[in-house]
Amino acid sequence: MIIFIILLKILDVVLSIFAFATTTSHKSSTTFSILCANATQPEDRTFYYSYPYDLESECFKLCDTDAKQFCLLSGSKSSAEFYVFVGVIVFLYCLAALVLYIFFDDLYRRNTRLVIVDFIISVVLTLLWIIASSAWAAGVSDVKTYTDPEEGGIFGTDQCQKDLCKVKSLGNFASLNVSLIFGFLNFGVWIGNLWFIYKETPWFKLTSKPPTEPDQHSPISGNNY
C-alpha cells in the first residue's frame, strides 16, 4: 500500500510545482488608444501586470496633460499569494514525506503516531488546496475584469467619454487558467492521498479486522443433564 502513497506524493510534487510556477511566471499587458484633448491622432497606452497582481499600485496618466494618474481599481494580491504559499508548503511537505516513506519505511509502518500525524496534515493540506484554488479562481476573474479598460473603469473617466478610447489588445490569461486547472487537480489527487494514508492508520485496521470466532473446542458452560 505504501507504494501507492509514494507514487501519489511524487505526482503531488510535480503538480504543486506547476500550480505555483504557472502563477508566478505569468506576465501580460493591456493596450488601448485614447484621443486626448487638443490631439489630432489617438495615442496608445499600455500597462503591464504580473504576480502578485497588486493592480491598485499600477498607475499611469491617461493623457500627458493630466494632473493626476489613473490607478486600476482592484487587484488579487492576497488570493494569488495565498495560492502560491499553499503550493510551496505542499511541495516542501511532499519532499519531506517522500524521505520518510523511502528511507524510514519500517519506522513509518511501526509508529502509528507518524501515520496519524501524516493523515491529519494531509487533511489540512487537502482543505487548503480547495480553499486556495477557489479563492484564486475568484482572483483570476478579478484580474481579467480590472485589466479590461471597459470593465475596469478606465473608459468611465472624463478623458474616455464619447468613444474617445478604444481597446486594442487585452491580456493573455492562458497561464492563469492553467494554474487553476492544476489547483483543482491537486485537490483531487490529495483526496486519493487521504484514502491510501487512511488505510495505513490504526483506525482503518481496527474496522477492517475480521471478528474473532469463538473457539469450537472450548467447553460449553451450562447445566449438565
CA distances to 4, 40, 44, 59, 160 from 65, rounded to whole Å, are 65, 15, 15, 15, 14
Nearest to 204 by CA among 124, 104, 112, 125: 112
Q: So what's the pLDDT on residue 93?
A: 97
Q: How far apart are CA 197 and CA 116, in angstroms?
A: 9
> Any idea which residue has 458452560 for its cell?
221
Q: So what's the pLDDT on residue 210?
A: 57
Q: How far apart are CA 147 and CA 55, in angstroms?
A: 8
Grid coordinates in use for 46? Answer: 499600455
Q: So what's the pLDDT on residue 159?
A: 84
Cis peptide before 52 (omega within 30 of 0): yes
Q: So what's the pLDDT on residue 83?
A: 98
Tens digit of each residue's pLDDT, the chain (225 residues):
678 889 999 999 999 999 999 999 999 999 999 998 888 899 999 999 999 999 988 888 898 888 788 888 888 999 999 999 999 999 999 999 999 999 998 898 888 899 999 999 999 999 999 999 999 999 999 999 999 998 888 888 888 876 889 999 999 999 999 999 999 999 999 999 999 898 888 876 666 555 555 555 545 444 544
Q: So what's the pLDDT on residue 81?
A: 97
Q: So what's the pLDDT on residue 209?
A: 56
**φ, ψ at 131 (rounded to 5°):** -70, -50
Q: From the CB of residue 59, how many other CB atoms can be counted at a distance below 10 Å?
A: 12
Nearest to 17 by CA among 74, 97, 109, 87: 87
Q: How far apart are CA 102 and CA 10, in angstroms?
A: 12
Listed by start position, the domains of the chain span: 1-206
Nearest to 126 by CA among 12, 1, 10: 12
Q: So what's the pLDDT on residue 64?
A: 83
